[in-house]
Structure 1
């Protein structure tokens, strides 16, 4: 029983972390919070990580009933969420390089209050816990049994996975500036562009996965006829 629980936790954790990719998204987080102090960025990282943990818990425990209640299929979730991720990646990929502030054209810094207002959207959803991670969390518990012992083990695994992912996100995001320091200014710009491109590709891949899940049954029905 304990071995099965540990296996479920490791499987879910590695799957979600590989999809969330906190190291790559950390450069996106740093780009969005460039004008904040180290302490303000750390507090914002804590809020984003906490939000991500609650989003995963909601996906684990009530994701499937909510989708069924609103009549939303997994394919629609992937297509809509993937579109949001792809648009965000495209905007960041094509954003102009920041220029030094001039006396007659000062750059308006992003305040801690305005950054906090973006902690949930878009920093948590869809940049951190996007449709891929939400769909994965829902799929992990889609076949959850109603047997009490199995239900409890699944619930414990879901909580443990969410907490572990939350801790990793906080640790990486709160140290994004330090990572950028080691890379240097040019290395950070390159890493941000690569992260933006990967974010665009992830969004496109999620859309294609949703379209494949939607079109494959239709193609099978047409072939059967």
Structure 2
């Protein structure tokens, strides 16, 4: 049972600070624009499902995929850090919110058909906005720490799946009620939170990239 609860707690505790759905929620709103509540609910559900599948795949098969292509985790961290940093930098610029509204929200005018909803829910909302390369790298790391004993592996796998489910539930709730949070904060508060979220996203990207560079330098020094 200790192994089970340890794995159950490990996934949300590790991934939620990187995902940071509360800080990403204002960015999500800025990219969707004026959207009907029913469509926002469906979009939040699809994003949560996509994130669940992405995280499960990263935990259970991510390390095998990287080994197949010969890609190391430090390289994933460096690439992920660059992507996340660029997204944060763009959002931090003065007119970044208007650009996002023009590029995403203005394409649907609040009315999304089924195909558009399915396509947008994965890119850019599920990946890379919510589950970015940094989160994938952390998930792959969790997967590499699975025990080899069959009973412990089964317990850990089940607990990890529950942990991913809890994590994606938090994502769903944050996105589902993002509009309520925006009304509570008001226009000024929402703008401040958006800029702060963008700065945090930039810092996270730099931290992820630096972690990858540090690992590469450590490997180089060993050789």
- TM-score, normalised via structure 1 length: 0.88
Greater Rg by CA: 1
| Structure 1 residue 88 displacement after superposition | 1.3
State the distance in 1 between where 2:75 and 2:149 align: 30
State the distance in 2 between where 1:8 and 1:158 align: 6
Which of 105, 120, 127 is residue 122 of structure 2 equivalent to? 120
State the distance in 1 between where 2:83 and 2:191 align: 23
| Structure 1 residue 217 displacement after superposition | 2.0
State the distance in 1 between where 2:158 and 2:140 align: 15
CA deviation profile, 1:38-78 (whole Å, cap 9, x unmatched): 21111111111110011110011101000000111001111
CA deviation profile, 1:22-41 (whole Å, cap 9, x unmatched): 10011111111112112111
8 Å contact from structure 1 (residues 35, 111) kept in 2: no
State the distance in 2 between where 1:115 and 1:28 align: 17
| Structure 1 residue 165 displacement after superposition | 0.8
State the distance in 2 between where 1:207 and 1:179 align: 31
Residues matched between the structures, number: 213
Runs of 5+ consecutive residues of structure 1 not aligned to the other structure? 100-106
Q: Once superposed, which parts of structure 1, at least 4 consecutive aligned residues long, lie more than 6 Å away?
A: none
| Structure 1 residue 119 displacement after superposition | 1.4
Distance 1:9 1:149, change over 3 A: same
8 Å contact from structure 1 (residues 81, 126) kept in 2: no
State the distance in 2 between where 1:78 and 1:95 align: 28
Matched, 1:146 2:148: yes
Distance 1:188 1:169, change over 3 A: same
Matched, 1:188 2:178: no
Q: Write 1 or 2 for the structure with the bigger share of helix.
A: 2
State the distance in 2 between where 1:169 and 1:139 align: 21
| Structure 1 residue 147 displacement after superposition | 2.0
Q: CA RMSD in A?
A: 1.8
State the distance in 1 between where 2:161 and 2:56 align: 7
Runs of 5+ consecutive residues of structure 2 not aligned to the other structure? 100-105
8 Å contact from structure 1 (residues 35, 110) kept in 2: yes
Distance 1:18 1:63, change over 3 A: same
1:102 aligned residue: none
State the distance in 2 between where 1:170 and 1:51 align: 11
8 Å contact from structure 2 (residues 62, 143) kept in 1: no
Distance 1:132 1:98, change over 3 A: closer
Distance 1:10 1:143, change over 3 A: closer
